[in-house]
Structure 1
Amino acid sequence: MASPECYGNYASGKLLCQSCYTSKKCAQASREKQEDMLQLVVPQILEGRIETSRFSLALTLYSGQTFRWGRDHDGWWKGIAYGVVLRLKQQDDVVHYFASANKVSTYDGEKDIEDFLRWYLRLDEDPKVRVPRGDRYLRRARDRMRGFRFVRQEPLECIVSYILSVQAHMSLTKQRIQFLSQILGQPIRFGEEDYWSFPDVDALALLDEDYYRHQRFGWRSKFLPTSTRFIRDLARKNRKETPDLSLAEWRSLVDKLVDTPNSGIGLKVAKCIDLFSLGRLNAVPVDTWVRKMAADWYGVEGTDARICAWAENRGGRHAGYWGEYLFAHYRELNAPSLDDRVLSFAASDASSSILPFERRGCEG
């Protein structure tokens, strides 16, 4: 029997490498890139504190809007954002932090670490959600969610994450994102733990549908190559690297992906990206919980597009917060809270060597 070839030399019809799936070289085209990716970064750890007001770190990171944050047994939130490893802990109105870099590149320009955290966590914002007279549901929901903020996720990571999240448990989505980061991202040693940055789009675009299916990504496997290659090609057309794309360019790109066949980005995923990454705070993603909430509490039924339009009109310019408050409160009343094992899974945790299938009915 012929030896399977490395995935880096994969061509249609050839055997996939059975031993190199977790090696970065199998998804990199150039030797220079391979060698660079294999170097472990050991940064100097920075420490600081930020004064806040009317902010809740726990509500913000526990909400499920991001997939690479987790809380350890000492109450520290650990994660990685825009390629920077972070550990955060709130005590009263102070957020203490440890970080792996002092400068962070974002679609809003380069920022010092403290400015970045204020921007990423929206610490200087205090959303005002007006409660109509007699709306007891929203009043209770708003009171329970005081201090919550939408973070500004890195757009590429947010796009891939929410394509993977459709009809998948949060724990499985986290494992898949972690798997991609470990085989394609930059390893970073932070204290006694290893983290991995989210892969760049050039690396992701080299993986095809067969690879994702072999790794048990299921029916989403056809969407990821389409979307990542679309993003790569558009960035090249603009003669830019994806980290250099502006907010306006990312918004335009996502709008185009919605109209691209097999991108995996429909109404709900697009609204998630708009809200959790691109600052469109009037966006309301509609899922099962939002549909049930709209019907049970407000008597609104119909298509997702109809419910979305109703919610965004009712909530106004802060409709995203309006929707998140009600979504979280309704789910809290009607379903168990997030499993602690999901909550504790962070960007430094090792994903399973073999990703599990999903529940019956969602297997690819």
Structure 2
Amino acid sequence: MRGLELGRFCGQILQKQSFVSLACHCIQFSPLSASPVSFRCSLLHLGCRSTGTSSSEQSEVNLTPNNSKAESNESTQKLLEILATSPAEQQRPSDMGHLKKVADSFFNMGFSPAQMMQLFTLQPSIAPQSRLAVISELLLLGLSIDSTLKILQKHPEVLKLSAKHLKDRGDVLRRLGFKEGSLDHVAFHYPSIFILPHKRIQAVEHLLREKCLFTVQQVSKILQTCPNILLEDLDYLECKFQFAYFRMGVKQRAIVKAGYFQASLAEIKNRVIFLERLGLYQTPDKKGQTQIVNPKLKRIIRASESDFVTNIACSSIEEYEIFKQLLAREEEQRWKHEALKVELLDLESDGEESDTE
């Protein structure tokens, strides 16, 4: 009886371990001379599952091959086909080895296959190497891949810029106080910042420094929180500042702290004049004194319309809407009156010149 049980036990062991001899036969190496690493790699090649037991522990290792490399190679191959058939490559015989290096560079920078396909549909006439240089420079400025893609989607002409131009623009923005995080935020929401003429940026900086008398730190804060002013008309920007400074009596520090330039001048005027006519706002005198306590600038411009009307103006939406319509008519009549005065002055000057002649 013992012999029969022993025979069955040996048969079970041989049945369970039969894959080892099969693996050795297929890989053609001696199990005695093979290292555990080479044996494991061979099993990986065969897609086998190895199970070993010992007196102290039992472990199971899943040796199923990883398909990520195969998927990456497939994506690279598709990208190479797109690059090889692009207009830039049709102008000369395509070098697949060169194109593969470009594709690998994008993979190494963190672009997914889908992002790379999307990227190479923009400005297809641009050579892959030039495209790589521009995008590398954008990433070196501290931009994320998402911000870089958004910039290029909104303004694909950025791909035509030189790497030197982007580097110089980055130096200008850093001088204005844009660090990596703030630069990424600005580039994501206002991607045209990279194609603005340098003179335009200088003009805005000059206006804020020389005419509005903001400090260097205040200019940096304004541009970081309100980068849209780089796209606004300079006269409009100056009028917006003058309304806060002269009409509202608010100084530079409070203007910056309130994020004043984020709001439109029309909405600011509507709210301030509405409060004035309700007796809830008063322009300070030369000493900065008022007979009432004015609401803070930040509350006036940052509150939602319903919150402004209800909690600050203590009025109703219907009354505020009627006021805005009446104020618009007043503005229109004022502009017509100003235009008529200018026209009369021009006629008078023309008459004087004719009498002199």
- Place the TM-score, normalised by the shorter chain, in its bin: under 0.3
Structure of greater relative contact order (alpha carbons < 8 Å, 6+ residues apart): 1
Highest Rg: 1 or 2?
2
Relative to the length of structure 1, the TM-score reads 0.22
Higher helix residue share: 2
Relative to the length of structure 2, the TM-score reads 0.22
